[in-house]
Amino acid sequence: MDSRPQRCVHDVGGLPDGPIDRSEHALTFWEWRIDAMIRLLFKAGILVDFAELRRVIEDLSETDYGEMSYYERWSEAGAALLIEKGVLTRAEIEARIDELLADASGSVSP
Amino acid sequence: MTCPPPIEDPSIVARFAVGDRVRIDDRDPAVHHRVPAYVRGHVGEVVRVMRAFGQPELLAYGGDGEPRQVLYRVRLVQSDLWPGDAKSGDTLDVEIFEHWLGPA
Amino acid sequence: MSDHAHQPDDPEPATRRALLGVALRSLLLEKRVYSEDDERRVVERLEAASPAQGARVVAKAWTDDAFRDRLLDDGSAAIAELDLDAGAPLVVVENTERVHNVLVCTLCSCYPRMLLGPQPAWYKSVAYRSRVVREPRAVLAEFGTTLPDDTTVRVHDSTAELRYLVLPRRPAGTEAFSLRDLEALITRDALIGVTTVPAP
């Protein structure tokens, strides 16, 4: 059986949907940095083609795709590719998030 | 950044020309690709022949994308895509690689 | 963290999901995949891109027929004359009395960023991406754009390697305008094709 459904989560052309929210949002400081991070991964030769990034974004579950912001999808895709290419491990990423959460809640960072 | 640099390769000859009627393949390979579901199986007209680019089906998995495929701008008629919904005369242009096109 | 010196009022990411990007960045900096200087340079380059670049292209095309012809023939080569680079092959589509063009990327969010700056949130939204290919006139109406029935609407779905820019119609009453005055009339949304350029 195909691992991909008939219509993948990103393939939305022609589906019914509601009114368009036209409110403007400037990118946040962190969104610029995540944007830069992906571009720097190309520059470093870790990512080779944008198709790689699209492929891992398209592999997100419908729930994740729907709930995540645009740059959260980019982060998720960046993490998946960095793990796939052996640059980072899932464990060290999770450990770093734990540290950041501990920092944010005012604990002493390890 | 999103595309490989242009490489002029005389061995790549476009199979279709501007004005040709082409049918977009109705298939959904279980890999990353760039052909939206709503255009698959539809017939359109080539309005522009671009250069060849690497195949996203291969580039997405770290491959080199070879053999590169000529990219076409294909014009579809809205009322064919969405019978009943569309205003007659309105059109929709998509970019389709040669390995997704056949004569119509 | 030492980032606060550059930080505007944006809240710090606080959820696991939002912190993923922060974690990746700190690990990549630590492993020297890139440096903070590299990052600053890229952010500055990205932040420098705005609709002003697209407006320059259009004002030039409105006032120079030969340039307009070159632009429609080969967008990338023509904008290189203005020291601009779309980062991907550029196709410019011209609005006329009979034709109105509008851009979308239904599969993701392809967009001429180096000419227009970051995509507006609505351009990336599922609502815009799903609807504009099927009911472009209804979507244009939501943006306040109503076209005569005998105008052909051409939707361009940016599905692969190309980037697009709409060349809007030059409004009446601008014959005496300088390039700078013309540029000031041109909006991002008109270059995406969800609006037109109104007469001054």
HSE-CB for B37 with a 13 A CA cutoff? 13
**Sign of the alpha-carbon dihedral angle for C87, C90, C96, C100:** negative
Residue A84 has pLDDT above 50, yes or no: yes
Q: What is the mean pLDDT of residues A38-60?
A: 95
- pLDDT band at residue B3, thresholds of 50, 70 and 90? very low
Residue A2 has pLDDT above 70, yes or no: no
Is C108 catalytic? The answer is: yes
Q: What is the mean pLDDT of residues A52-73?
A: 93
List all chains that touch chain B, counting a touch as 3 or more CB pairs closer than 8 Å: A, C
What type of residue sits at position C153? V
| Rounded distance between C-alpha atoms, residue C174 and residue C172, angstroms | 6
- Is residue C88 less than 8 Å (CB to CB) from chain A? no
Share the mean pLDDT of chain B: 90
Give the whole-number percent of chain C exceeding pLDDT 70: 95
Yes or no, beta carbons of A49 and B54 under 8 Å apart: yes
φ, ψ of residue B101 to 5 degrees: the values are -120, 145
* Measured CA distances, C71 to C5, C8, C59, C79, C154 (Å): 43, 39, 12, 7, 18
- Is residue B93 less than 8 Å (CB to CB) from chain A? no
- The confidence score (pLDDT) of residue C9 equals 62
Yes or no, beta carbons of A2 and B28 under 8 Å apart: yes
CA-based nearest residue in chain C for residue A81: C24
Q: Please, which residues bridge with residue B95 across strands?
A: B73
Q: Are C120 and C188 in contact (CB under 8 A)?
A: yes
Q: What is the mean pLDDT of residues B69-92?
A: 92
Q: What is the CA radius of gyration of chain C?
A: 19
Which of B25, B33, B21 is closest to B76 using CA atoms? B21
Catalytic residue among C26, C35, C108, C125: C108
Is C110 catalytic? The answer is: yes
- pLDDT band at residue C14, thresholds of 50, 70 and 90? confident
HSE-CB for C78 with a 13 A CA cutoff? 22
pLDDT, tens digit, for every residue of C22-31?
A: 999 999 999 9
Residue numbers of B between 68 and 97 with CB closer than 8 Å to C = 71, 73, 75, 78, 81-82, 85-87, 89-97
Give the whole-number percent of chain A exceeding pLDDT 90: 82
Is C125 catalytic? The answer is: no
- The ipTM assigned to this model is 0.91
- pLDDT band at residue B1, thresholds of 50, 70 and 90? very low
Structure tokens at C198: 């109104």
Contacts of C172 (CB under 8 A, 6+ apart): C199
Q: What is the mean pLDDT of residues C129-150?
A: 96
- Is residue C91 less than 8 Å (CB to CB) from chain B? yes
- pLDDT band at residue B10, thresholds of 50, 70 and 90? confident
- The confidence score (pLDDT) of residue C102 equals 98
Run of H or E residues at C61: helix C51-63
Domains of chain C and any CATH numbers: 16-46 (no CATH), 49-192 (3.90.330.10)
Residue of C27, C47, C126 lying closest to A32 (CB–CB) = C47
pLDDT, tens digit, for every residue of B21-49?
A: 999 999 989 999 999 999 999 999 999 99
Yes or no, beta carbons of B53 and C87 under 8 Å apart: no
φ, ψ of residue A90 to 5 degrees: the values are -55, -40
- The confidence score (pLDDT) of residue A110 equals 45
- The confidence score (pLDDT) of residue C89 equals 96
Do you find a cis peptide bond into B5, omega within 30 degrees of 0? no
- The confidence score (pLDDT) of residue B11 equals 79
- pLDDT band at residue A29, thresholds of 50, 70 and 90? very high
- The confidence score (pLDDT) of residue B48 equals 96
Structure tokens at C49: 């891109």
Q: Which sequence spans correspond to the domains of chain A?
A: 48-104
Chain C residues lying within 8 Å of B82, measured CB to CB: 134
Residue of C16, C34, C157 lying closest to A40 (CB–CB) = C34
Chain A residues lying within 8 Å of C127, measured CB to CB: 17-21
- pLDDT band at residue C8, thresholds of 50, 70 and 90? low
- The confidence score (pLDDT) of residue B4 equals 39
Q: Would you say the pTM of this structure is higher than 0.90?
A: yes
- Is residue B77 less than 8 Å (CB to CB) from chain A? no
Residue C195 has pLDDT above 80, yes or no: yes
Contacts of A82 (CB under 8 A, 6+ apart): A41, A46, A88, C24, C28
- The confidence score (pLDDT) of residue C170 equals 98
- pLDDT band at residue C5, thresholds of 50, 70 and 90? very low
Q: Please, which residues bridge with residue C152 across strands?
A: C99
Share the mean pLDDT of chain C: 94
Ordered DSSP codes for C23-59 = HHHHHHHHTTSS-HHHHHHHHHHHHH--HHHHHHHHH
- pLDDT band at residue C163, thresholds of 50, 70 and 90? very high
